[in-house]
């Protein structure tokens, strides 16, 4: 076990290495997936993702990936609230374009999951776009629209995507499970709201820091595992559980200490492990030997970019093309869809590989969009001076 884990952790370092060598043009996730491809079915077959206890590590990594995505969505953010109306309009427009596009693509290539394709086309990625916004200190009305748009898209697609992979017999159970998870998250927010800020809470936090108890981290993990347990018991998806756990953490203002602890645990171990294991499950040879699946990957990526640019044209008043391109990034949701589809045997290895490949392809225009937004911000600041 330890030899395999050491190999997987080493493979996870390929992501940061590729990002460093490409001068941050290639996201870390791409390198980690590529390392998994080399180690798994596509490459040398060194790692078998079904060997115990790897599925358990992958499940935790998946939940923590969604938790980190949720921490990028602050529902109390003034910026998100400011652009909410236009952001909602942008998402609805993208969804309206995605609906016929998803149906058409599914009809042409025969995936048999049109609803899944619609959700993937309409989705966005806060984990990709928000760090770009923060890094370049971007601001303005178009950024408010972009952030609101992506936040809405993430929230809606997180709930909708697992339902598209639920069979007709367990769809009702999955819906009830989602409701149970949302209700439990609301109860946690209400209970924490009554406790946070009190004298007892301040004293407990002080003692935790003083004695190294890491109580905030334990409480965060308890929320994640508790919501994930509800998902497991009800047949719902840990995708929703992890995402809501992240929103809860942000809702109560994660400290720098907690942020570092979560980052160390999630991005330092579990999330790279999940992405490498996901890459090892994908069969790129099956994708390359099936022209229709290559068409699927390209068509999904093009449809996503077109849908988001059209939505930006409808909703944004400034930096339309850049905003549309930046919002089209999709990687977390395709990875989640591929993982769920393979686990439930509702997606073939070639279909899963095509979906992940499509997500990777959207990173190219999204990177250009982020660069255009950053250059526009620099130009405006220069003009002011």
The string of pLDDT tens digits covering residues 340-385 is: 888 888 888 889 989 989 988 898 888 888 878 877 665 555 555 5
Structurally, how many domains does the chain consist of? 1
Give pLDDT, residue 340: 85
Q: What is the spatial distance between Cα 77 and Cα 361, in angstroms, rounded to a whole number?
A: 30
Q: Helix, strand, or coil here: 328?
A: coil
241 band by pLDDT with thresholds 50, 70 and 90:
confident
Average confidence score pLDDT of the chain: 84
Q: Which residues neighbour 37 within 8 Å (Cβ) at sequence distance 6 or greater?
A: 43, 279, 280, 282, 284
CATH number of the CATH domain containing 335: 1.20.1530.20
Name the least confident of 9-13, 144-148, 173-177, 256-260.
256-260
Q: Retrieve residue 190's tokens.
A: 């209400």
Give pLDDT, residue 167: 58
48 band by pLDDT with thresholds 50, 70 and 90:
confident
- Chain segment 252-307, per-residue pLDDT in tens: 766 667 777 877 888 888 989 988 998 888 888 878 888 888 999 999 999 999 99
pLDDT (average), residues 166-194: 80
Q: Which of 239-251 are b and which e, b meaning 16 or more Cβ less than 10 Å from the residue's Cβ?
A: bbbbbbbbbbbbb
Instruction: Look at 383 and 150; give whichever has higher pLDDT.
Output: 150
Q: Retrieve residue 368's tokens.
A: 């250009």
Q: What is the spatial distance between Cα 276 and Cα 36, in angstroms, rounded to a whole number?
A: 4
Q: What is the spatial distance between Cα 104 and Cα 318, in angstroms, rounded to a whole number?
A: 31
Boundaries of domain holding 62: 2-384
Give pLDDT, residue 382: 53
pLDDT (average), residues 212-222: 86
Give pLDDT, residue 384: 53
Give pLDDT, residue 383: 52
- Percentage with pLDDT > 70 across the chain: 91
Give pLDDT, residue 139: 72
Put simply, whether the predicted model's pTM sits higher than 0.75 gets the answer yes
Instruction: Look at 93 and 22; give whichever has higher pLDDT.
Output: 93
């Amino acid at each position: 076990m330890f030899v395999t884990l050491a190999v997987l952790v080493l493979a996870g370092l390929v992501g940061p290495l590729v990002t460093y060598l490409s001068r941050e043009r290639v996201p870390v996730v791409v390198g980690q997936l590529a390392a998994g491809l080399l180690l798994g079915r596509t490459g040398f077959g060194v790692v078998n993702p079904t060997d115990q206890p790897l599925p358990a590590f992958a499940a935790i990594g998946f939940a923590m990936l969604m938790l980190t995505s949720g921490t990028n969505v602050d529902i109390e953010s003034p910026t998100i609230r400011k652009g909410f109306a236009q952001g909602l309009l942008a998402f609805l427009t993208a969804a309206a374009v995605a609906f016929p596009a998803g149906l058409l693509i599914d009809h042409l290539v025969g995936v048999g999951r049109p609803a899944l394709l619609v959700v993937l086309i309409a989705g966005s990625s806060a984990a990709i776009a928000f760090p770009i916004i923060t890094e370049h200190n971007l601001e303005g009305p178009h950024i408010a629209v972009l952030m609101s748009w992506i936040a809405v898209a993430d929230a809606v697609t997180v709930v909708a995507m697992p339902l598209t992979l639920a069979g007709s017999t367990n769809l009702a159970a999955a819906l009830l499970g989602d409701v149970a998870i949302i209700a439990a998250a609301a109860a946690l927010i209400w209970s924490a709201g009554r406790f946070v800020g009190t004298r007892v809470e301040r004293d407990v936090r002080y003692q935790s820091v003083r004695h190294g108890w890491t109580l905030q981290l334990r409480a965060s993990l308890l929320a994640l595992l508790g919501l994930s347990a509800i998902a497991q018991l009800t047949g719902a998806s840990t995708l929703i559980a992890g995402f809501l756990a992240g929103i809860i953490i942000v809702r109560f203002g994660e400290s720098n200490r907690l942020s570092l602890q979560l980052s160390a645990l999630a991005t330092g171990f579990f999330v790279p492990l999940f992405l490498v294991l996901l890459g090892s499950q994908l069969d790129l040879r099956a994708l390359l030997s099936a022209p229709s699946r290559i068409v699927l990957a390209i068509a999904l990526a093009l449809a996503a970019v077109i849908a988001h640019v059209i939505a930006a044209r409808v909703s944004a008043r400034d930096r339309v093309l850049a905003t549309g391109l930046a919002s089209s990034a999709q990687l977390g949701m395709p990875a989640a869809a591929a993982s769920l589809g393979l686990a439930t045997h509702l997606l073939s290895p070639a279909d899963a590989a095509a979906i992940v490949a499509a997500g990777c392809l959207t990173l190219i225009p999204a990177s250009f969009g982020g660069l255009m937004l950053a250059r526009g911000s620099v130009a405006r600041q220069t003009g002011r001076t």
